[in-house]
């Protein structure tokens, strides 16, 4: 139980860090000749680099969460089919529908991360 709670805290911290990196906006330079620059001296990342890192972290976490969810569904379905083989068809149908819903939500999250990169 502790390992799962620790993993949840780390994942939540990474999601928050990814959101912060995706929304970083650079301060515009005071010089007129440097008005088009996106990198500010003393900053850790420019706007494009921060968006790239944030989008990558967000997409990775979305895929990891979707994979973990589908893995739990598959494991639980196989276990319940082993306990009650007479309802295996019903369990299999419910498992496929639920896995498809998780896959759709994961794809939506990854697409949102990539759209945040190009926006």
pLDDT digits (tens, 9 = 90+) for 14-72: 777 777 766 665 444 444 445 555 555 555 667 777 787 888 888 888 898 899 999 99
Q: Is the pTM of this model over 0.85?
A: no
The per-residue pLDDT for 24 is 61
Cβ–Cβ < 8 Å for 65, 11: yes
Torsional class of 45: left (φ above 0), alpha (ψ -120 to 50), beta (otherwise) = beta
Cβ–Cβ < 8 Å for 51, 24: yes
Which CATH number among 3.20.20.70, 2.60.120.10, 1.20.20.10, 3.40.50.12780 corresponds to the domain 2-22+47-118? 1.20.20.10
Q: What is the dihedral of CA 35, 41, 42, 47, to 10 degrees?
A: 50
Rounded Cα distance, 101 and 83, in Å: 25
């Amino acid at each position: 139980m502790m390992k799962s709670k620790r993993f949840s805290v780390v994942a939540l911290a990474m999601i928050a860090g990814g959101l912060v990196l995706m929304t970083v906006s650079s301060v515009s330079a005071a010089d007129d000749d440097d008005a088009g620059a996106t990198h500010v001296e003393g900053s850790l990342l420019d706007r494009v680099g921060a968006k790239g890192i944030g989008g990558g972290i967000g997409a990775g976490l979305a895929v990891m969460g979707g994979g973990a969810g589908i893995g739990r569904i598959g494991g639980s379905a196989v276990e319940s089919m082993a306990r009650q083989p007479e309802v295996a068809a019903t369990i299999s149908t419910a498992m496929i529908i639920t896995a498809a819903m998780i896959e759709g939500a994961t794809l939506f999250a990854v697409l949102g991360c990539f759209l945040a990169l190009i926006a």
